[in-house]
Amino acid sequence: MTADDAGSGTAEEREVLDAAAPDGAVRDTGARESAGAEAPEEDQPDPIALRLEQLILGAERRYTPFQAARSAGVSVELATRFWRAMGFADIGQAKALTEADVLALRRLSGLVEAGLLSEPMAIQVARSTGQTTARLADWQIDSFLEGLTDPQETGMTRTEIAYPLVELLLPELEEFLVYVYRRQLAAATGRVVQAADDVEMVDRRLAVGFADLVSFTRLTRRLEEEELGELVEAFETTAADLVAAHGGRLIKTLGDEVLYAADDAGIAAEIGLRLIETLTHDETMPELRVGIAFGTVTTRMGDVFGTTVNLASRLTSIAPKNAVLVDGAFAEELSRTGEAPVSEAEAAEAAAAAEKEGEEPPSYRFALQPMWQRPVRGLGVVEPWLLSRRA
């Protein structure tokens, strides 16, 4: 049976054809599709929207989910799992899929059949890619294209202006996306192969930092939506630039909070202090708290998990305004690598001994001040340290 004449399938097959496809696709019933009836006029997609979709996808709608699965040589159940993992909405049996959808199914299932990926791993690949690109696409439409398609001529709608703009930008943005992906993949691969052993590839020792805007909830009640959006964007942009510039990795942003990680405690400390220093000089920004912890971290789908992450979050919540709090393991790591003295008394003794011997005294980048021990919910009693620059 070919893909084109497999549209109806059996009753049992149609029951599991609640497959997924891009948001905005026509929603239809299996009965109407198999009968060849036209959808009601109010259900028909906008012609300009269809032209834009075809321009972006590079192909016309041709397949129902059942036909696409059959053409790709995969089960409907597996196709449904892939589509949902990529974040696409259920469409029943509307004819809304293209050759590209079929090819994507073939590629993923081919990796499973070749033994390169297990089926759960292939689903995870689809989910992580879908989540990342969905956020990118939303940002580009909301912040990028929306500004560029502001109508300049009387009588032209935003949608009419969008078509030629997308036609010009799409090839360039696509190539740039592939370039950035390869660069990020090379960097991530380099970090993994330098791991000490196989266990460290998954459960690694990292410095994890949270930076949190103070009194953000109060700001949401006082600022207009546009002002609040500009503040959040400025904060995320500043944080992302500083994290990248100093060798860290931005894990995620949560509006008023950013999470970053670094392989080296000194890098994480520098980022935390730079964030405080930079935002303190910006009168439009509220005050900031930063908490950093060091220890074993589990990485999954670009995110980080574990006790170390939870501890960094708790330290952020108790940190003084415009200050950086770190845990004991982080303080020990800075001392071990010579970035900070174990104590100011030890630093003074080392400086005196060096002067007596006519040598240069030890040079430290950071200072650590022990704070009062306190119970932290879910983590027991911890002894935070106040991190600062050493004069």
Residues near 60 by Cβ (< 8 Å), separated by ≥ 6? Answer: 54, 98
Q: How confident is the model at residue 16 (pLDDT cuts 50, 70, 90)?
A: very low
Q: How confident is the model at residue 288 (pLDDT cuts 50, 70, 90)?
A: very high
Given this model, what pLDDT does residue 147 score? 63
Per-residue pLDDT tens over the stretch 152-210: 555 667 667 777 878 888 888 889 989 988 988 888 787 667 655 554 455 678 999 99
Work out the average pLDDT over 320-326: 94
Asked whether residue 145 carries a pLDDT value surpassing 70, the answer given is: no
> What is the value of pTM for the model shown?
0.64
CA angle 234, 240, 241 (to 5 degrees): 90
Asked whether residue 74 carries a pLDDT value surpassing 50, the answer given is: yes
Work out the average pLDDT over 277-289: 89
HEC readout, 209-237: EEEEECCHHHHHHHCCHHHHHHHHHHHHH
CA angle 115, 121, 123 (to 5 degrees): 115
Residues near 1 by Cβ (< 8 Å), separated by ≥ 6? Answer: 70
Given this model, what pLDDT does residue 103 score? 92
What percentage of residues in the chain have a pLDDT greater than 90?
31
Contact 384, 315 (CB under 8 A): yes
Given this model, what pLDDT does residue 278 score? 93
390: closest CA among 333, 335, 353? 335
Q: How confident is the model at residue 134 (pLDDT cuts 50, 70, 90)?
A: confident
Helix, strand, coil share (%) of the chain residues, nearest 5: 55, 15, 30
Given this model, what pLDDT does residue 154 score? 56
Given this model, what pLDDT does residue 9 score? 46
153-to-49, 156, 167, 227 alpha-carbon distances in Å: 20, 6, 19, 28
Work out the average pLDDT over 217-239: 81
The better pLDDT of the pair 370, 375 is held by 370
CA angle 169, 171, 177 (to 5 degrees): 95
- Which segment of 105-114, 130-139, 140-149 scores lowest on mean pLDDT? 140-149
Token pair for residue 365? 């980048």
Q: Please provide the DSSP assignment of 86-104 as one string.
A: TTPEEEET-S-B-HHHHHH
Per-residue pLDDT tens over the stretch 36-64: 344 444 455 667 778 888 888 888 899 99
- Which segment of 31-40, 101-110, 200-209, 222-231 scores lowest on mean pLDDT? 31-40
359 vs 203: CA distance, rounded Å? 41
Contact 162, 149 (CB under 8 A): yes
Given this model, what pLDDT does residue 27 score? 42
For the chain, give the mean pLDDT. Answer: 80
